[in-house]
Chains A and B, each alone.
Chain A
């Protein structure tokens, strides 16, 4: 079982602020993912990484950016938050050969 952490759990900010959502995992997994999910709705992949210095955009276009400087850390940054960015952001990791993704608890972002 993967241990994957996200901070903060809840964030309320004003329009135009720069924010970074943190995601860390302790299992040494190579693959990490960011999903965006509105409450009770489907998951949309916005970024993924298959290892250090490797990042790709997902299916859903997002104004966020990510970095992968260390295996265990995969932060997501919004340079200028807008109300349309209000959502839940879920981080996941996968280290095995069976594509089992393990999710963090999520960050609930509200942009006023």
Chain B
């Protein structure tokens, strides 16, 4: 099945720095989603992308749907301590087919640590 390669696996940054992480695949995706998960909690949807080339912002977060439909990146500007957590990308593979077509494929996550 389709796989998502998410990088980096982990990162340590100083408060105030900008952060960038990305997901790539050898397959085409229809939808890209970015989630953040705090310890002991469920993932929370941050940004959803639906069209190739789409660039969407949510506060200090910006994400883009790659033009080839095989990648996406998430940027966080001016990081703060509450940005700490695990960020997951997820995608809806193309094409739709059969009963499993609504499932998402998830990356393995980027663990972000922010040093005050």
A33 surroundings in chain B (CB, below 8 A)? 103
Bound-state CA distance A21–B47 (Å) is 29
Question: Which segment of B19-27, B54-62, B73-81, B106-114 sits at the interface?
Answer: B106-114
CA distance A42 to B30 in the complex (A): 21
Contact assessment for B99 and A45 in the assembled complex, using a CB-CB cutoff below 8 Å: no
State whether B108 touches A94 (Cβ < 8 A).
no
Is B109 a contact of A98 with CB atoms below 8 Å? Answer: no
Residue of A43, A90, A94, A104 with highest tally of chain B CB at under 10 A: A43
Which of chain A's residues has its CB closest to B99's CB? Answer: A56
Q: Are A45 and B103 in touch, CB under 8 angstroms?
A: yes
A48 part of interface (Cβ distance < 8 Å): yes
Which of B33, B50, B102 is packed against the most chain A CB atoms within 10 Å?
B102
Question: A90 contacts which chain B residues (CB < 8 A)?
Answer: 42-43
Contact B102 A31 (CB under 8 A): yes
Contact B1 A41 (CB under 8 A): no
Task: Report whether A100 and B48 are in contact in the complex, using a CB–CB cutoff of 8 Å.
Answer: yes
Q: How close is A97's CB to chain B, nearest CB, in angstroms?
A: 10
Q: Which residues of A contact B11 (CB under 8 A)?
A: none
Question: Smallest CB–CB gap between A88 and chain B, Å?
Answer: 8
Contact between B33 and A100, CB atoms less than 8 A apart? yes
Interface string of A51-75 (1 = CB under 8 A from B): 0000010110000000000000000
A59 to B99, CA, bound (A): 13
| B74-115, CB < 8 A from A | 86, 88, 90, 92, 99-100, 102-104, 106-109, 111
Binding site for A on B (CB under 8 A): 1, 30-31, 33, 35, 39-45, 48, 50, 86, 88, 90, 92, 99-100, 102-104, 106-109, 111
Q: List 29 A-B contacts (CB under 8 A).
A: A31-B102, A33-B103, A42-B107, A42-B108, A43-B106, A45-B103, A48-B102, A48-B103, A50-B99, A56-B99, A56-B100, A58-B103, A59-B1, A88-B40, A92-B42, A98-B31, A99-B30, A99-B31, A99-B33, A99-B92, A100-B31, A100-B33, A101-B33, A103-B35, A103-B42, A105-B42, A106-B40, A106-B41, A106-B42
